């Protein structure tokens, strides 16, 4: 489990396709604190550390992950939002994040609002995922609060610290991002759909 509070930005150093899988080598300031078989969130996707060399480590994304997230779109030198799994007893500064991306969305607005930034994302409503005003949403692994919730879009406001310490600074119109909807909201919606 994660909190959506990004620890650091990693940099993609190598990409290797092996059959249907993608091996991703990442350089990070926390590499020396990682261990093999550790779960780490990358842009909101929970991936397992499989190799560590000096200040770089490797993770593998399988076809299911590549099909349903933006991990397959990574390029050399791209920034990746990184968070290690939460430890029992840690503060939950964001919200409960599983590292299981529900779907992707597209950035349709990226606006500097004189000291902060407003981003609007559009997603396919056919998957029946929902946002609520002032509810929690995870965008590329970042725990955020929804503003302007619509049927197939929503906005988030980004403070300067988040802008500088996540890959939001790379977002532009057309950027594909990962979405994980609030797990509590998903269970409530599922119960409602089942008329329980």
Low-confidence ranges of the chain (pLDDT < 50): none
Tens-digit pLDDT profile for residues 112-169: 999 999 999 999 987 777 888 999 999 999 999 999 988 899 999 999 999 999 999 9
The predicted pLDDT at position 116 comes to 96
The predicted pLDDT at position 195 comes to 76
Are 58 and 23 contacting, i.e. CB atoms less than 8 angstroms apart?
A: yes
Its CATH architecture, for the domain 103-193, is: Beta Barrel (2.40)
pTM: 0.91
The predicted pLDDT at position 177 comes to 98
| Interatomic CA distance for residues 41 and 83, integer angstroms | 5
Distances (CA, A) of 15 to 11, 94, 166: 11, 30, 21
The predicted pLDDT at position 81 comes to 99
> Spelled out in words, what is the top-level CATH class assigned to the domain 8-84?
mainly beta
Strand partners, 47: 40
Instruction: Give the residue range(s) of CATH 2.40.30.20 domains in the chain.
Output: 8-84, 103-193
The predicted pLDDT at position 63 comes to 97
């Amino acid at each position: 489990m994660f909190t959506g509070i990004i620890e650091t930005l990693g940099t993609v150093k190598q990409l290797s396709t092996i059959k249907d899988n993608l091996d991703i080598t990442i350089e990070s300031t926390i590499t020396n604190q990682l261990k093999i078989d550790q779960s780490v969130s990358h842009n909101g996707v929970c991936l397992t550390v499989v190799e560590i060399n000096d200040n770089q480590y490797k993770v593998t994304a399988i076809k299911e992950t590549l099909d349903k997230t933006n991990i397959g779109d990574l390029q050399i030198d791209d920034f990746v939002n990184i968070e290690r799994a939460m430890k029992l007893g840690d503060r939950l500064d964001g919200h409960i994040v599983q590292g299981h991306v529900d779907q992707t969305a597209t950035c349709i607005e990226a606006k500097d609002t004189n000291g902060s930034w407003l981003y609007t994302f559009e997603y396919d409503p056919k998957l029946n995922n929902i946002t609520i005003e002032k509810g929690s949403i995870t965008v590329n692994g970042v725990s955020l609060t929804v503003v302007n919730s619509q049927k197939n879009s929503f906005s988030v406001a980004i403070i300067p610290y988040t802008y500088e310490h996540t890959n939001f600074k790379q977002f532009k119109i057309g950027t594909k991002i990962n979405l994980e909807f609030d797990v509590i909201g998903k269970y409530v919606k599922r119960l409602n759909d089942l008329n329980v």
